[in-house]
Structure 1
């Protein structure tokens, strides 16, 4: 990692930790620490298992996506790549956005596929994971609405989910039908950008339009291949949904571990909606996800703020540390394997 990127990651981590410290202080400070200290070890262990299950399940979803592209990656390798992707998202600047190219490089190395094709696979994987999250959030909000009146915030959330549920398929359908025109537009824009960069960087020779078109096609083709393989698409969606459910159960158990009992359908929408905070340019969205989850949980349940905050920190920050550690190990394993192949 370049020094500038390392500094950006360090600053992002510091910002995230500062937000978490402020969140804990506002929620009661000592009461939050007491709740964490009194967490039931057995349930904490199950929370960790749920987080690891999520990593494995999304690894299987990634494997199905890669299989749709004709890239044969074993289940273990797919899980390792997904764990390494979590590590990349947690240590690169700008969180999720910064980690995707690094993940694509890993996929390219493990699967022996061109970078553009690997990046297209990762894009497909990311888009695919959004579908179950919206569905589960809608189910959770609907279940909540059957037993309690929706407050102003949840009515806004429900309305937003309804709009997205209607608009997203329409936009996706139009984009799919006009994908050739959109692809041509993208090629034109990128070609102009490359030429402008070439004029300002004398030593850099900008690619011509045909080269740009070939690279864009290498990126778009995997997305088309995944969309066209219905069997593997169903497998990927099923594994992705199971991964989301593992996260939901993990947060639910974290709440129980600190003595906060809430209905399971509440984390069903809290977990997906909380990921909006991942847009914060910190490693893994740290400091962006947690306040949203705490706000939703305290607004929709009678649980006290301190134990709710403790549970969210246990699940989210504990999960961050766990997945980063496992991901670092996965990167090491994949790196050693790549070097061994190179030496062989």
Structure 2
């Protein structure tokens, strides 16, 4: 039954999936056209193919790291499964995120159904655990940007772009930290506020009593899950270190791609390009496609003035071909294998 729910929701997204991938492809085609197609093709041809293999290796290495973050969060919220299955569920979830028109956050409800059907966990516990894992995997860009800014403040110089980025990151950090603190260490605060507002609306309208009762039961399960996850701060800290290691794999990938195109970049600008580009994952296209490559190409030209936009776009596309697209293909196989297992039960 649960499998049918997932497949039904996937089918519901089918038309939108093709539309959004068409839009993403259109964005990329437009970028190549306006950036000078000849320069783009020239930079593609100049890439050293032997260096693309280790770049792909680092691109794939981040998936086991981020999957392990999921695994640890699941264990803490008492969703028991082998690590190998956690990897497959993470990869399947990565695929589902890519077929929704809401960027990185679009597939979470579908992921929760996938966890529910493959474990004995409730949907509410699965969703709260996935959201917690997302928070953990979303921390590295913030800490890396703040750390890199501190380094430049002490040993380098800050330009206007970096300063503006830091202001934005500080705002996101403040809001995100408050939400994470309330969910993990003051469980019930946000859930209680949602329930309070719902009750008031129900009392004023005289409707929705059953909805309030159902919501109360679901929020209670969600609260219990967040409380379990936040019960051991040291456990969360260790999990966060693993997530940061996954992000470093992307940095190594980018450095190798730069060398493949004949550039020997300094670490600091690479650090900022990769981390800031990652924010484009949250753009409203499947997996951030199109906007991610555009963001990376723009950042490359800002931090490496000697590189033109066409070459920057080449780097962005090669980066995605060795990080995002392999995960998408593996995720499709993972989703089908998981659904096949459930059908046999």
Query: Which residue does 2:140 correspond to in 1?
Result: 132
Query: Which residue does 1:310 correspond to in 2?
Result: 314
Say whether the 8 Å CA contact 1:51–1:319 is kept in structure 2.
Answer: yes
Structure 2 residue runs of 5 or longer lacking an equivalent are 1-8
Query: Which residue does 2:215 correspond to in 1?
Result: 212
Query: Which residue does 1:202 correspond to in 2?
Result: none
Structure 1 residues 298 and 78: CA distance shift in structure 2, 3 A: same
Query: Which residue does 2:298 correspond to in 1?
Result: 295
Instruction: State the distance in 2 between where 1:19 and 1:240 align.
Output: 30
Query: Which residue does 2:331 correspond to in 1?
Result: 327
Cα displacement (A) at 1:261: 2.6
Instruction: State the distance in 1 between where 2:216 and 2:253 align.
Output: 44
Say whether the 8 Å CA contact 2:91–2:331 is kept in structure 1.
Answer: yes
Say whether the 8 Å CA contact 1:141–1:269 is kept in structure 2.
Answer: no
Say whether the 8 Å CA contact 1:93–1:281 is kept in structure 2.
Answer: yes
Deviates further, 114-123 or 7-16: 7-16
Which of 270, 284, 291 is the aligned partner of 2:287?
284
Aligned CA-pair RMSD: 2.8
Answer yes or no: is 1:338 the counterpart of 2:327: no
Query: Which residue does 1:45 correspond to in 2?
Result: 53
Number of aligned pairs? Answer: 336
Query: Which residue does 2:235 correspond to in 1?
Result: 232
Instruction: State the distance in 2 between where 1:339 and 1:277 align.
Output: 36
Answer yes or no: is 1:106 the counterpart of 2:114: yes
Query: Which residue does 1:92 correspond to in 2?
Result: 100
Answer yes or no: is 1:63 the counterpart of 2:66: no
Answer yes or no: is 1:270 the counterpart of 2:278: no
Instruction: State the distance in 1 between where 2:311 and 2:136 align.
Output: 33
Instruction: State the distance in 2 between where 1:198 and 1:270 align.
Output: 54
Say whether the 8 Å CA contact 2:69–2:243 is kept in structure 1.
Answer: yes
Structure 1 residues 46 and 312: CA distance shift in structure 2, 3 A: same
Structure 1 residue runs of 5 or longer lacking an equivalent are 200-204
Structure 1 residues 176 and 105: CA distance shift in structure 2, 3 A: closer
Give the 3-state SS of the residue equivalent to 1:260 in structure 2.
coil
Structure 1 residues 189 and 257: CA distance shift in structure 2, 3 A: farther
Say whether the 8 Å CA contact 2:69–2:242 is kept in structure 1.
Answer: yes
Instruction: State the distance in 1 between where 2:242 and 2:222 align.
Output: 24
Which of 9, 12, 35 is the aligned partner of 2:17?
9
